Amino acid sequence: NRLNNSIRIPDFNLSHLGFLEGFELNSDREFMRRYIKKAADGGLAKARSFYGSYLILAENNPKEGLDYIEKAAQDENLEALLSIGYYLADGKYLAKDGVKALNYFARAAERGDPEGIFSAIAMERNLFGKTKNLAKAIEDLTPMANHGFEQPKMILDYFKRQPQPASRSKPKKQAKRVH
């Protein structure tokens, strides 16, 4: 039975805040964990991603944690897409697979996520020795950087420091003059 959104989202946000603020009492922590699990089991992708990461990192339960994160990734949750991408790229918790990692990073990049864009480009360079569409990535990141977002600025600075491949464009043919 799916939970009503008006119940799931406030429950999850309160619980998420509780974890981030670091409640000291175990009873508070358990209370927050139950509400996050309830939101995750109710289908809220952000809660699935957060709860999956909690299971992996805090409870050392990668099998169950990955199930939650993969479900969130199926809903195109950015944190989940990036997490699965990193796990595949590093071979941590999942078998190492650069091509699959690239796919997850590209899905995050397609949604305009700066970390997804950067990770997709880095994975392309790692796999193929080049970036397929660096110009498109720079085009996507520039408006975000111009609006003051730090991560896109840092990524663009990184690109500017990289050696640029020589242009492969053919010289234009001169038009023949008719006398």
Q: pLDDT tens-digit profile of 128-159?
A: 766 666 677 777 777 777 877 777 777 777 77
Give yes or no for residue 9 having a pLDDT over 50. no
Calculate the average pLDDT of the chain.
Answer: 76
- Average the pLDDT over 78-100 and give the result: 93
Per this entry, what is the length of the chain? 179
CA dist 78 and 105 (Å) reads: 9
Buried b (16+ CB within 10 A) or exposed e, 137-159: bbebbeebbeeeeeebbebbeee
- Average the pLDDT over 5-29 and give the result: 49
What phi, psi does 111 have (nearest 5°)? -90, 5
Whole-model pTM over 0.75: no
CA dist 124 and 102 (Å) reads: 7
pLDDT at 104: 94
CA dist 83 and 56 (Å) reads: 11
Give yes or no for residue 28 having a pLDDT over 90. no
